[in-house]
Structure 1
Amino acid sequence: MSAPEKAGPGPVVVLVGPPGSGKSTVARALAVRLGLTSRDTDEDVERTAGRSISDIFVQDGEPAFRALERDAVAAALAAHRGVLALGGGAVLDPATQAALARYVEGGGAVAFLDVSLAHAAPRVGFNQARPLLLGNPRAQWQALMDARRPVYAAVATLHVDTDGRRPAQVAAEIEAALAAPGGPTDD
C-alpha cells in the first residue's frame, strides 16, 4: 500500500508509548508496508551524542539527555516524511507536547502503542542497561507507565494495544486507521 496523504509537513505517523511497546520495531514494519522510511529519535540522540543513552545519563544526567531528545524530536517532526518512533519519555517535555499538538493540527497522526507490564517485560528484558529502570525494574516500569499513560493518551489520535500481537499485526492496524476515511481516531 502507498503512504496516505497528509496535509502538513512532517511524518505520516508518530509512534509513542512505553519501553517494550514495540515502537521501533513497529515503525520499521509500518514503514515497509507504506513504502517509506522509519526513524527513531533515540537513535538520533545516540548518533548526535556519539554514545549510548545509558552513557549520556551516567555522564551528563537526565536533563542533558532530555534536551538532546527534545531537539531530536523537533528536528524529526520538521524533516522526516516517513514513520517516526519517539523515545518513551519524549512526550513528557512540554515543548514536545506542543510540537505534537501542532503536528496533529496539521493533519498528522500519533499512535499510542500501549502494552501491559506482563507483555513489556520479555520485550524489554529488564536486565538490560535502561537508566530509568534501575533498582526494581518491574516496579520502576509500572511507576513510569502510571505517570506517562495520561500523557500518551493526551497526545495520541490512535490507541493501539500491542499485548500478544506481532509487530506486523500492529503495523497493519495502524495502516488501516491511516487509510480510513477521516483518518485515525481514538477507539
Structure 2
Amino acid sequence: MRPVAVLVGLPGAGKSTVGRLMADRLGVGFRDTDADIEDRTGRSVAALFASGGEQRFRALERAAVRAALAEHDGVLALGGGAVVDPATRTLLRGGPVIHVDADVQEVLDRGDAAAGRPLLHGDAAARLRELAVRRAPLYREVARVRVGVQGRSPAQVTLAALAALGLHPAA
C-alpha cells in the first residue's frame, strides 16, 4: 500500500476535509475515491446509484480503491461504504488506515448530511444510525487508529490523526 494515510468513516464524518488538511500539512497529494469514480464515469455518485444501484457502484468503488492504493502516495479518503466490500477490507488491512469517527448526531448537526449521499435519502438520521451500526465493526477491522471528531475542529482532528500515525508535518 502506497498512501501515507487512508481515511475511512461514515458519510459526512469529515474524511475529505481532514484528508486535504493532512495532505497539506505533510506536503503530499490528496485523493478521494468518490471523486475518482465521478471523474472516470462523468457521473455523480448519486446518479450512479440511481442508474445502476448500490451493487454496481460498489464494483466501481472497489476498482477505484484498488487503483488508488497502488498509485497514490499521499493521503487517500475512501467513500463511507468502501469497507463493506471484503476485497477492499483485505487490501486495507495492516495499512496506515485512520477511522475518522463521527457520531451520528454530529454528522447530522452539520446540516448537509444527506446532500449527494444516496444512502441517506429519506430519513437521514435513521439511515445514518443504521449505517453506523452496520459499518462500525468494519471500520474497526481495517483501521490502525481511530480519531474521534466530537468537539474538535477539522484542524484538531488533523493534528490528532497525524500524531496517531506518527506522521510529521513538512517543514
Q: TM-score interval w.r.t. the shorter chain? A: over 0.9
Q: What letter corresponds to residue 113 of structure 1 in structure 2?
A: V
Runs of 4+ in 1 over 3 A off after TM superposition: none
Deviation at 1:81, TM superposition (A): 0.1
Aligned partner (choices 164, 169, 178) of residue 156 of structure 2: 169
Match among 101, 110, 114 for residue 101 of structure 2:
114
What pairs with 1:73-84 in structure 2 (closer than 5 Å)?
A: 73-84=65-76
1:153 aligns with 2:140: yes
State whether residues 20 and 124 of structure 1, in contact with CA within 8 Å, keep that contact through their aligned partners in structure 2. Answer: no
Q: Decide whether the 8 Å contact of 1:44 with 1:72 is kept in 2.
A: yes
Separation in 1 of the partners of 2:13 and 2:116?
A: 17
Q: CA RMSD in A?
A: 1.3
The residue identity in structure 1 corresponding to 2:46 is S
For 1:64 and 1:178, locate their aligned partners in 2 and report how far apart those are by CA, in whole Å: 33
**1:122-141 matched pairs, under 5 angstroms:** 122-123=109-110, 125-126=112-113, 128-141=115-128
Which of 36, 56, 67 is equivalent to 1:44? Answer: 36
Spell out, residue by residue over 1:72-93, the C-alpha distance to the aligned partner (whole angstroms, 9 max, x if none): 0000000100000000000110
* CA positional deviation for 1:122: 2.9
Letter in 2 for 1:27: G
Q: Which amino acid aligns with 2:43?
A: R
> Which amino acid in the other structure matches residue 174 of structure 1?
A
AA at the equivalent of 2:128: W
Distance in 2 of aligned mates of 1:132 and 1:98: 24
C-alpha displacement of 1:52? 0.3
TM-score by length of 2: 0.93
Q: Which amino acid aligns with 2:86?
A: P
Map of 2:12 onto structure 1: 20
Aligned AA (2:17): T
Q: 1:127 and 1:38, CA in 2 relative to 1: closer, same or farther beyond 3 A? A: closer
Whether 1:144 aligns to 2:131 is yes
The answer to which of 150-159 and 124-133 deviates more is: 124-133
After superposition, the C-alpha distances for 1:55-88 in whole angstroms (9 at most, x for unaligned) are: 0011111111111000000000001000000000
Deviates more, 1:124-133 or 1:108-117: 124-133
- Offset of residue 39 of structure 1: 0.5
Q: How many angstroms does 1:124 deviate by?
A: 5.6
Distance 1:131 1:124 in 2: 16
**Equivalent pair of 1:56/1:65 in contact (CA under 8 Å):** yes
* Distance of 1:10 and 1:177 partners within structure 2: 18
Percent of aligned positions with the same letter in both sequences?
50
When residues 48 and 124 of structure 1 are mapped into structure 2, their CA distance, relative to the original with a 3 A threshold, is farther
Cα pair 1:112 1:153 within 8 Å, conserved: yes
